[in-house]
Chain A
Amino acid sequence: MKLQKEAMNWLDSRLGIRELLHSNLTGYLLPRNVNVWYTLGSVLLALFGLQFLTGILLLIYYVPDTEKAFASVTAIMNQVPYGWLIRYLHVVGSNLIMVFILLHMFSVLFMGSYKRPRELTWLSGFGLFNMGLIFCLTGYLLPWSQLSFWATTVATDAAGAIPVVGDTLLEYLRGGASVGDATLGRFFALHVMGLPMAFLGLVGFHLFCVRRAGISSAPFGEDYRPTELSNSFHHQKHPGGVPFHPNYTIKDLAMIFFALALLVAITFYAPWLFIPLDALTPADPFSTPAHIKPEWYFLWAYQSLKIFPSALLGLAAQGAAMGFLAMLPFLDRGPERRPGKRPIFVTLYLLGILLTVGLSIWGHYS
């Protein structure tokens, strides 16, 4: 104990650790009305950490070669001690991350927390959501299963629908005329090195934005009033609020425990929820599996592409929808955040969710 105190004194005299910890933990006050939705960021950080850890462990045995990839994954699942656990935690974890990212985005939208001065927080978060999707798609190819091969073939095929740059894009993505060794090499490098580095940078920027702008209070209750906006930088403080640590971090910890319980329950009892049958067969470029479907988070896009008469139109509509969502803070500029006082937004919000869920269900059963 004495040694610990001396080490702390040594660090404090050089780096001002105590002041840093106080200003960011015990002295950092949050609004009194923060609710359970505010914990989703911490849950996501914990799950990202687990993905990094399990991903590094999988890298020890995975072989990024079209001749050996499926066999190496089979060996991880059946011969490596606890390999099945590490892989399933990674697979189920990636799906749960998408669930929690969506919930996080829905709560931010509903509470209007994306509004000025938090436009950059929203944009970086939206970037992280897209990066999560790319993470999933690149990870999808690595086991070199039937699902991996054909999902990637069709996803990259759509490149040909884009005028002028279609062929270049196709070549750039696949590294050849068809999905093969070069594609696996590219996706592997992107999945284990390129994306994680960019992702860490963007997470850092997102957290920086959250800390600099200050936590927004939940727009509920009689005491809530819209914030007066100024043109100069202003960190939103919450005098009389609750300390971030330990009062709030313990709530974060509780939700992390519950999220991990869900992850472990699916991993041990129903891992097949996120692993279609075609993912259990090695890739065969000469045999197209029947009824191949994308993962649940791509189903809305899959179905919307089928609705439009051409792939280009479908892609353009999806691009417009995603662009609108990314630019929302710059379009919806009023200071009002209370859902009850934003009936048009809430109606569009609910219709948007219903449309996405409806398209996904349609895509699943089509």
Chain B
Amino acid sequence: MKRVQSVCLALLFTPLLFWVAPVMAEDTVCIQCHSGQEGLLGKPVELWRGSVHAANGISCHDCHGGDPTDFAMAMSPERGFIGAPDYVAVPEFCGRCHLGVKEDYQGSAHGRALAAGGPQCVLCHGNHEVQLASIELINEESCSRCHEYERAAVVKQTINGTEVTLHRLERSVAALHRVGIDMRRIKEDLFAKRNSFRRLFHTVELEKIKNQTAEFNQSLLKIKQQIDDHESELGQRKIVGGVIVLLLLLGGCIALLIRKSYHEEE
């Protein structure tokens, strides 16, 4: 009887729940604790919030390890906590996810100079505020900290056209995805192409970059053709939609004119 009463009460309250709305889930214990701290211990959270990692759901524990659900054990080595790596360990640290780039970087002049204080990932990309990599990372101010800019400028000029095409294609893919078109395959293909291209210029070998950029441009043309087909179909849909809207408006106006003729009779 008590259960029946509970169910009846539950049913009575059910409609109230449909007026309730979602809110954000709780943050990890890392964010809860560090965001309340000042200085060096709190700053990373603020920087991370505006990063490409945060935008893609990569949180503190994904890089630094530890247990994001347990305050007491969050920073315990037993739960895989690594903490901040040394300067020379950074490529291995980032390379756990960015495998291809790590491989090309390590074989490059930059990678070979690491032990002697050569550049590593965070020097160009930053750490907690890491942004989506862009060609603008290659600039005189940044490169001339270690060497002359001329060679880097030629690399930048060589890859510029391909980078612009990649960006344009990514924007088109996002726009088509937004209207419900299944872009997973093209997106994955484009993602793989972009990663391979980014790997390429981490080698900092001018001749290799020049030769392979032409090959990338050819493969991007195929992706562009697929995107153009989708965009063309969308354009046709809009024309048909426009005609239907006009016909419906015309139907409405005719009905109103007929109504007016009745009105005059009344």
Contacts and interface: CB of A to CB of B under 8 A. Distances in A.
- Chains A and B come from one and the same complex: yes
A254 B255 contact: yes
Given A164-B6, A277-B178, A305 B14 contact: no
Contact of A155 (B20, B252, B258): B20
Contacts of A258: 248-249, 252
Contacts of B179: 271-272
Interface string A301-324: 110011000010001001100100
A130 interface: yes
A233 B191 CA distance: 72
A21 B180 CA distance: 46
Interface in B38-84: 57
A94 interface: no
B23 interface: yes
B117 interface: no
A88 B60 CA distance: 39
Contacts of B180: 77-78, 84, 87-88, 271, 275, 280
Contact of B241 (A251, A254, A267, A290): A267
Nearest to B178: A272
Nearest to B27: A288
Contacts of A111: none
Contacts of A158: 17, 20
A58 interface: no
Interface string A146-159: 00001101111011
Given A164-B6, A247-B266, A264-B248, A155 B18 contact: yes
A158 B178 CA distance: 31
B175 to A, nearest CB: 10
A44 interface: no
Interface in B139-164: none
B138 interface: no
Query: Quick one: which of B18, B242, B244 has the most chain A CB within 10 A?
Result: B18
Nearest to B57: A287
Query: Quick one: which of B6, B242, B248 has the most chain A CB within 10 A?
Result: B248
Contact of A268 (B178, B237, B253): B237
B25 A257 contact: no
A168 interface: yes
Contact of A133 (B10, B18, B181, B241): B18
A237 interface: no
B225 to A, nearest CB: 18
B21 A168 contact: no
Contacts of B10: 159, 165, 168-169, 172
B241 A155 contact: no
Interface in B10-26: 10-11, 13-25
A32 B266 contact: yes
Interface in A237-265: 242, 246-247, 250-251, 253-255, 257-258, 260-261, 264-265
A257 B178 CA distance: 28
Contacts of B253: 254
Given A156-B17, A257-B251, A315-B16, A294 B22 contact: yes
A154 B20 CA distance: 8
Contact of A250 (B7, B178, B248, B255): B255
A268 B242 contact: yes
A250 B6 CA distance: 51
Contacts of B205: none
Given A78-B181, A164-B9, A319 B22 contact: no
Query: Quick one: which of B13, B19, B177, B256 has the most chain A CB within 10 A?
Result: B19
B240 interface: yes
B259 interface: yes
B182 interface: yes
A242 B256 contact: no
A259 to B, nearest CB: 9
Given A158-B20, A301-B20, A173 B256 contact: no
Contact of A288 (B7, B14, B24, B241): B24
Given A173-B14, A293-B22, 14 more contacts: A133-B19, A159-B17, A172-B7, A172-B11, A250-B262, A257-B249, A258-B248, A261-B252, A268-B237, A268-B245, A287-B57, A298-B20, A318-B16, A322-B19
Interface of A: 32, 74, 77-78, 84, 87-88, 130, 133-134, 137, 150-151, 153-156, 158-159, 162, 164-165, 168-169, 172-173, 242, 246-247, 250-251, 253-255, 257-258, 260-261, 264-265, 267-269, 271-272, 275, 277, 280, 287-288, 290-294, 298-299, 301-302, 305-306, 311, 315, 318-319, 322, 363
15 contacts: A77-B180, A78-B181, A78-B182, A150-B25, A162-B16, A165-B9, A168-B6, A168-B7, A169-B10, A242-B266, A246-B258, A254-B256, A255-B252, A268-B244, A301-B19
